Each structure stands twice: as C-alpha cells, then as structure tokens.
Amino acid sequence: MQYIFWRQWSDLKRHVNSLGIFVVGDLPIYPAHDSVDVWEGQPYFKLAPDGTPLYLSGVPPDYFSPASQLWGTPVYDWGALRRGGYLWWTRRLRRLLEVFDYIRLDHFRGYVAYWEVPHGEETAVNGRWAPGPGEELFKAVEDLLPRLIAEDLGFITTDVVELRRRLGLPGMRVLQFAWDGNPANEHKPHNYERNLVAYTGTHDNNTLLGWWRDEATPRARREALAYMGGCRGAANWRFIRLLFSTVVAVVPIQDVLGLGAEARINKPATRRGNWKWRLHAQPPPTYARRLRRLAKLYGR
C-alpha cells in the first residue's frame, strides 16, 4: 500500500509542478513513539534502556488549551543529535523536501526551547523548559532554508523571533487571532511584515464560520466587521478577501466552501474525533472562479 501511495503521489506532484503549482507539506516536530523514526533513531531520543520514554512532549497552558497539552511523544536528545552532526535530522528534512516543495516547520519555538514532561504525568502542567538546538541545527541544512516556513505560534519569546529572522524564514499569522481589541496585535493585517504566510485558520482552529458563529465574542465580531468596513456578503468571503490583500495567503478548503464546525479537522488537547473530515467531491467551479478573481485583483 505504501509503495502504491508513493508512486501515485510522485505522479501527482510531478503533474501539478508542471502546471506551476507548488506543494507545501508539514513537518511535525516529533514523531510518534511507535514510529519507524523513533525505532531507527533510538539513540537520538530521551529513552530508557527498554525504550520507554523518559520525558514526553507537550506545551504549557496556552490559547488552545488553558489546561496544557500533553502530546505524548518522546522528545529529542539534542546533545546526541549534535554529536552525530544532526545527520538524523538532516536526512529527515531532505527526504520530506523530495515529497513536498516547501515545508512548514511545526512548533518552531521548540527548536529554541521545548517543554518536556516526566513520563507518567497525566497533564503537561508539571513540565519544564529545556534548550533546543537553535541556529546550529539549521546551519547544517543551510541550503534548504529558502524552502522552509516557521510555524511561530503559541508562547513566542524574543529569542524565537530573532532566530526566525536571522534564518530568513517566513513566519505565520492567523486571522482568527486578530480580534482582541488591541491595534498592535501581530495577527492584524496592518501589522504584517512582508516575510510571512497568513492563514484564515490552521488545522488546529475551528473553520472560519464555525469560529464566527460559535466562538467569536460579540466584541470580536464587531471589531472584525469594523476593520473590514461593513457586513456585506458571507463572513468567510469577507475574511478571504482581507487575507488576499496582505501577504502570502493560505485558505483551508472548508473556509472557501463556507462550512461550519462540523468540518473542523482537529481540536487540540483532545484525543477523539479528530482528523476525520474529508473532501469527498470536487467543489463546483464557481469557487475557483471567485478565488481567481481575488488573485487577479491583488496581483497574486
């Protein structure tokens, strides 16, 4: 099955590249404990002699989960990776850049400092910050930097921002996070720097309409409407138009189709009911024409 999948994927990627379309993939910072990555690279993870994780990954309380998130995957032994010249990591990056044209580096802040939780804890609250590899890792793959995007969301400190800028990597902004009443909010489009990729929402967010109907506060809705200059048309298309007028824009297909919370992909800090939604049919061409008009209007 894997052989057939990769053969089909290679054919698809070759075809879309011939049309001038590039594919952006995702690199989760941690592989699962039962993955071939951990099995093959055991010396590079904090594991006991029997293979049990000594520490698990996660994040302290944040926007997505006030109770913290315990991801449950083993964390890296960055000292061992450094002694190995980061070869295990560079092989991983180079392989994925055969599969995709660009990579979004999940949890970029974890390369500066990451949250590790002693094995056996039921939440991530009792974790601690530990130093990551920082610039040293990326210097080992300097030729790949133009093809990387940093997912710099969550608890972002000055050193994380400085590392991203030194490396020249685009960061991320999410339109759903913009409406807190603060004009200096970095997710508001007028505060975007040029080297960014902006999203209506990510795989961890509700859909635009799900957020608009069920999660956005009345104040947030008023602020967003005032920012966009009124309430004509469907809410999802007003946000898409705003995003297209800024930097590099990514719009999930659920937001293009105007789907609600039933089409949400993932809810952080939950273990059930995620990654179930699928697009089962080709959307009508009216959606493509509408996106094309916006792309032409804003010179994309």
Does the reported pTM lie above 0.95? no
Residue 90 lies in a domain: no
Active site residues: 106, 151, 204
Residue 178 lies in a domain: yes
Helices (H) and strands (E) in the chain, counts: 11, 10
For residue 64, the model assigns a pLDDT of 62
pLDDT one-digit tens code per residue, 72-105: 999 999 999 999 999 999 999 999 999 999 999 9
Residue 228 lies in a domain: yes
| 142 φ/ψ angles, rounded to the nearest 5 degrees | -60, -35
For residue 231, the model assigns a pLDDT of 67
Residue 264 vs residues 23, 153, 213, 287: alpha-carbon distances, Å: 22, 19, 13, 20
| 173 φ/ψ angles, rounded to the nearest 5 degrees | -135, 150
Give the whole-angstrom CA distance, residue 202 versus residue 158.
Answer: 23
For residue 270, the model assigns a pLDDT of 81
pLDDT one-digit tens code per residue, 25-53: 999 999 999 999 999 999 999 999 999 99
Find all residues with CB under 8 Å of 66, minimum gap 6, and list them: none
Is residue 27 classed exposed, middle or buried when 0-12, 13-18 and 19+ CB atoms within 10 A define those classes?
middle
User: Residue 166 carries which side chain, given as an amino acid letter?
Assistant: R
Number of domains in the chain: 1
For residue 79, the model assigns a pLDDT of 97
Residue 226 lies in a domain: yes
For residue 67, the model assigns a pLDDT of 73
Angle in degrees, 0-180, between the axes of helices 235-244 and 218-228, rounded to the nearest 10: 50
pLDDT one-digit tens code per residue, 179-235: 999 999 999 999 999 999 999 999 999 999 999 999 999 999 999 999 998 767 789
Residue 6 lies in a domain: no
Mean pLDDT of the chain: 94
User: Which domain does 236 fall in, by range?
Assistant: 170-300
Residue 42 lies in a domain: no
Give the whole-angstrom CA distance, residue 94 versus residue 230.
Answer: 46
Both structure tokens of 9 = 């994927």
Residue 250 lies in a domain: yes
For residue 290, the model assigns a pLDDT of 96
For residue 120, the model assigns a pLDDT of 92
Give the whole-angstrom CA distance, residue 92 versus residue 97.
Answer: 9
Question: Residue 157: how many CA atoms within 13 Å on its side-chain side?
Answer: 8
Q: Which residues, in sequence order, are bridge partners of residue 131?
A: 113
Residue 247 lies in a domain: yes
> Mean pLDDT, to the nearest integer, of 240-248?
95
Give the whole-angstrom CA distance, residue 210 versus residue 232.
Answer: 19
Model confidence at 269, in pLDDT bands (50, 70, 90)?
confident
